[in-house]
Structure 1
Amino acid sequence: MRLNEITFTDALPVDGYGPGFFRVGGEVHEGALLIWDRGRADWGGLEDHETLLSMIGFVDVIFVGTGAETAHLPKDLRDRLEEAGLGVEAMNSPSACRTYNVLLSEGRRVALAALPV
């Protein structure tokens, strides 16, 4: 199989995940994760609206990983993000990681906020 090298922005892709952790750039991150081209950080989960709102103007869409199962975002969170012009897509965390990596490889302005599986 022929493999092509993918060039990412300054943001690192998610290399892997497991019970309670994510691996980004070869380093393990315990707990909920927020990652975008300006770095990575702990994320306070679905109640942490302000952290996600701080990305206005820097990203076009945030992929929200809701853990092992897909769950709806709290309505007030979705409304605030969409009113601010920020796209938001909720899905289970494995799907959110994969989708984030694909769009990141295309050079898109994306972020990932994910709860561990």
Structure 2
Amino acid sequence: MARLTPDEPAPGPIVQGFSGTGFSVDGRVYPAVLLTPDSASSWSPPATASGLILDQLQPLLALERPPEFLLLGTGPALAFPPRPLVRALEAQGIGVEAMDSRAAARTWGLLRGEGRWIAAALMPLA
């Protein structure tokens, strides 16, 4: 696995901060966002993490190289994703790390800075 030097930013989208109830990513604000090492895209998640299904994460699963794991931002507070969703992702060799969306956005930056090949699904902050 290639590691980046401290002067080398990770390629791909960077969460620059929070804007109201959304995420500021590379100059654009997303209420909810899917992140891959290559792109950021708007996302329409269910109202709560308990309603998540595998099909809603399909853009992240369609990567040529599967992510090491999925950072799941569950909104303003930690909520556990449905067990069937976690099992389905694990069956594809993809682990799931659930946390509140602010923590997931910060973790995205840290892990991408290490050159980790991950994906993130960040639910709205409110």
Both proteins in one fold, TM over 0.5: yes
Aligned alpha-carbon RMSD (Å):
1.8
Q: Secondary structure of 2:103's match?
A: helix
**8 A Cα contact 1:56 1:84, kept in partner:** no
Structure 1 portions without partners, runs of 5+: none
The equivalent residue for 1:87 is: 95
The percent of aligned pairs where both chains have the same amino acid is 33
The total of aligned residue pairs comes to 112
Residues 64-99 of structure 1: CA deviation (Å, up to 9, x unaligned): 000000000011111110110012100000110111
Give the structure-1-normalised TM-score. Answer: 0.84
The equivalent residue for 1:36 is: 36
The equivalent residue for 2:67 is: 59
Change (3 A) 1:63 1:56: farther
Give the structure-2-normalised TM-score. Answer: 0.78
Note the 1:5-20 alignment, pairs <5 A: 5-9=7-11, 11-20=12-21
The one-letter amino acid paired with 1:8 is: A
Structure 2 portions without partners, runs of 5+: 1-5, 46-51
2:110 aligns with one of 95, 98, 102:
102
The one-letter amino acid paired with 2:115 is: G
The equivalent residue for 1:73 is: 81
